[in-house]
Amino acid sequence: MLFDQSKNSVYRDVFAGVREIDNLMSVNIPSSDVSRINAAAGIERVNVHKDTFTVIERAVFFAEISSGAFDPSVGPLVSLWGIGGDNADVPLREEIDNALSMINWRDIELDAQTRGVFLKRKGMALDLGAIAKGYAADKAAEIIADAGVKRAIIDFGGNIVTLGEKKDKSAWKVGIQNPNKKRGLYFGVIQVNKTDRKRTIVTSGVNERFFEKDGARYHHILSTSTGYPVNNGLLSVTITADSSTDADALSTTLFALGYEKGIKLIASFPGTEAVFVFEDNTVRTTQWANFTITDNSFEFYNMQE
List the chain domain ranges: 11-119, 152-301
Return the CATH number of 152-301, one of 3.10.520.10, 3.20.20.140, 3.20.20.70, 3.40.50.1100.
3.10.520.10
What is the per-residue pLDDT for 166? 81
- Strand partners for 211: 218
Nearest to 76 by CA among 91, 60, 57: 91
Segment 54-81 shows an average pLDDT of 98
φ/ψ (deg, to 5) at 44: -155, 165
Q: How far is CA 104 from CA 53, 70, 80, 117, 140, in A?
A: 18, 10, 16, 14, 31
What is the per-residue pLDDT for 2? 55
What is the per-residue pLDDT for 305? 40
- Report the alpha-carbon distance of residue 275 to residue 292 in Å, rounded: 10
pLDDT digits 0-9 by tens, 147-170 = 988 888 999 988 999 998 888 888
- Report the alpha-carbon distance of residue 240 to residue 40 in Å, rounded: 36
Q: Is the separation of the CB atoms in 27 and 127 below 8 Å?
A: yes
Please check the confidence at residue 304 and state whether its pLDDT lies above 50: no
Q: Is the separation of the CB atoms in 241 and 198 below 8 Å?
A: no
pLDDT digits 0-9 by tens, 247-296 = 999 999 999 999 999 999 999 999 999 999 999 999 999 988 899 999 99
What's the whole-number average pLDDT of the chain? 93
- Report the alpha-carbon distance of residue 305 to residue 302 in Å, rounded: 10
pLDDT digits 0-9 by tens, 115-150 = 999 999 999 999 999 999 999 999 999 999 999 888
φ/ψ (deg, to 5) at 278: -105, 165
Please check the confidence at residue 302 and state whether its pLDDT lies above 60: no
The backbone region for 42, taken as left when phi is positive above 0, alpha when psi lies in -120 to 50, beta otherwise, is left
Q: Is the separation of the CB atoms in 297 and 289 below 8 Å?
A: no
State in words which class domain 11-119 has: mainly alpha
What is the per-residue pLDDT for 255? 98
Q: Is the separation of the CB atoms in 128 and 245 below 8 Å?
A: no
Beta-strand ranges (E) seen in the chain are 46-47, 108-111, 116-119, 152-155, 159-163, 172-177, 186-192, 198-205, 210-213, 216-219, 234-241, 273-278, 282-285, 291-293, 299-301
Please check the confidence at residue 78 and state whether its pLDDT lies above 90: yes
- Report the alpha-carbon distance of residue 143 to residue 56 in Å, rounded: 21
Q: Is the separation of the CB atoms in 262 and 230 below 8 Å?
A: no
